[in-house]
């Protein structure tokens, strides 16, 4: 079995065991396997290509730290996790901006519209629950909306599989983060906890597929 298959197997097994841990509230599985998801994805990316994009590797490293911080309870760890994923999304945005051609204002506004609508509805729902976290959540929400926007622009321009995978990753990431926010601030649910992780794994995998295809 080659290195790529081993790394992919570790990624899949870590994802499944973490989700099983969430479903059955087995904390030891979550603490062991959640950090391994992105850790294995880094190796999967490195093994898949002779030349790697450093910005994506750094984005994965920020995602790894975000996962670790969010393993722990408390506002401090939540904020540290938020910052880690914010930095990861900023790097995803940079990667997409480097891909897309210069655009006119109309295309940018049209592409941003669905993501800003989702962001606005989510903020309207959570507004009374965020308290001192209002500003950090607004900043994070705007950044991930920009990520969705540039991913959509890339797909509109190219209609390529690379752009499609990145767009799917961005949209599913937004679903994951929106579900996390609803679960934490509005309506806690065990189902939401499961959905957050399932969508998160899918989002990271689609972004990975986009990055691999872009270098082939």
What pLDDT digit, counting tens, does each position of 15-37 carry? 999 999 999 999 999 999 999 99
Residues 6 or more apart whose CB falls under 8 angstroms from that of 185 comprise 126, 129, 130, 133
**pLDDT over threshold 80, residue 1:** no
At 180 the pLDDT is: 97
What are the CA-CA distances from residue 134 to residues 123, 126, 141 (Å)?
Answer: 9, 9, 10
pLDDT in tens, 59-114: 999 999 999 999 999 999 999 999 999 999 999 999 999 999 877 677 888 899 99
Give the tokens for residue 57.
């590797």
What HEC string does 16-74 produce?
A: HHHHHHHHCCCHHHHHHHHHHHHHHHHHHHHHHCCCCCHHHHHHHHHHHHHHHHCCCCC
Q: Which helix (H) or strand (E) holds 213?
A: helix 190-214
Domain span holding position 199: 3-214
Tally of domains in the chain:
1
Classify burial at 191, counting beta carbons within 10 Å of its beta carbon; exposed 0-12, middle 13-18, buried 19 or more: exposed
């Amino acid at each position: 079995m080659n290195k790529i298959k081993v790394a992919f197997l570790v990624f899949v097994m870590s994802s499944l065991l973490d989700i099983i841990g969430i479903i059955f509230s087995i904390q030891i599985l979550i603490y062991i396997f959640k950090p391994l998801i992105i850790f294995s994805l880094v190796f999967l990316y490195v093994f898949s290509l002779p030349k790697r994009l450093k910005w994506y590797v750094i984005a994965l490293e920020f995602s790894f730290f975000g996962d670790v911080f969010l393993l722990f309870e408390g506002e401090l760890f939540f904020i540290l996790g938020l910052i880690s994923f914010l930095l990861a999304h900023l790097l995803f945005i940079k990667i997409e901006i480097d891909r897309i051609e210069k655009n006119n204002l109309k295309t940018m506004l049209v592409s941003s519209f669905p993501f800003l609508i989702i962001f606005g509805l989510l903020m309207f729902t959570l507004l009374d629950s965020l308290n001192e976290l209002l500003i950090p959540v607004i900043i994070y929400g705007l950044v991930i909306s920009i990520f969705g926007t540039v991913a959509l622009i890339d797909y509109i321009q190219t209609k390529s599989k690379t752009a499609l995978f990145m767009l799917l990753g961005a949209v599913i990431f937004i679903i994951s983060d929106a579900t996390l926010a609803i679960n934490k601030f509005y309506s806690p649910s065990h189902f939401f906890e499961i959905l957050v992780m399932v969508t998160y794994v899918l989002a990271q995998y689609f972004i990975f597929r986009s990055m691999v295809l872009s270098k082939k």
